[in-house]
């Protein structure tokens, strides 16, 4: 599904000097129909009670879904924008890394729907999120 020219270096370079890079999101794997990125659970991503901030999980999910959608488009002709996102926070975490794995639910001409499962280093589910992306013409 993803083009062969899509690389981790390209994904990580695209996110330089953005919110994603500011909070430490790093793409780590490209599969045939999924992307994985990790995010540290540290002072940049926790809330005052020293657990992962739900908003940080949403940033990870939207970063993954938007970049997955963009990878399927001719960006000279179209671009993706988040239309709606939801997240269910299942379990808290206070240190280490979380890993988001995004997969497609629907790839249409004008919308995509992506699911991100965020897990800890032991593969326990931390959050599940669904992102709807509008595909806009330039």
The answer to whether position 1 is within a domain reads no
In a domain, 31, yes or no: yes
Count of structural domains, the chain: 1
Tokens of 10: 């390209």
Domain that holds residue 40: 8-137
CATH of residue 89's domain is: 3.10.129.10
Please state whether beta strands 111-119 and 78-89 pair in parallel, antiparallel, or not at all (unpaired).
Answer: unpaired
Q: Quick check: is 2 in a domain? A: no
23 — pLDDT class (breaks 50, 70, 90): very high
Predicted TM-score of the model (pTM): 0.97
pLDDT tens by residue, 27-36:
999 999 999 9
pLDDT in tens, 47-76: 999 999 999 999 999 999 999 999 999 999
Active site residues: 62
Residue 50, CA distances (Å) to 20, 93, 121 in order: 20, 8, 18
- Predicted confidence band of residue 104 (pLDDT cuts 50, 70, 90): very high
């Amino acid at each position: 599904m993803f083009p062969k020219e899509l690389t981790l270096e390209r994904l990580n370079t695209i996110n330089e000097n953005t919110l994603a890079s500011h909070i430490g999101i790093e793409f780590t794997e490209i599969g045939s129909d999924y992307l994985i990125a990790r995010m540290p659970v540290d002072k940049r991503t926790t809330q005052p009670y020293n657990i992962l901030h739900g908003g940080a999980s949403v940033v990870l999910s939207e970063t993954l879904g938007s970049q997955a959608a963009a990878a399927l488009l001719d960006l000279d002709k179209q671009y993706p924008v988040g239309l709606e996102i939801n997240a269910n926070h299942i379990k808290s975490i206070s240190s280490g890394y979380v890993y988001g794995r995004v997969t497609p639910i629907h790839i249409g001409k004008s919308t995509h729907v992506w699911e991100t499962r965020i897990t800890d280093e032991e593969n326990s589910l931390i959050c599940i999120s669904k992102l709807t992306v509008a595909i806009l013409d330039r």
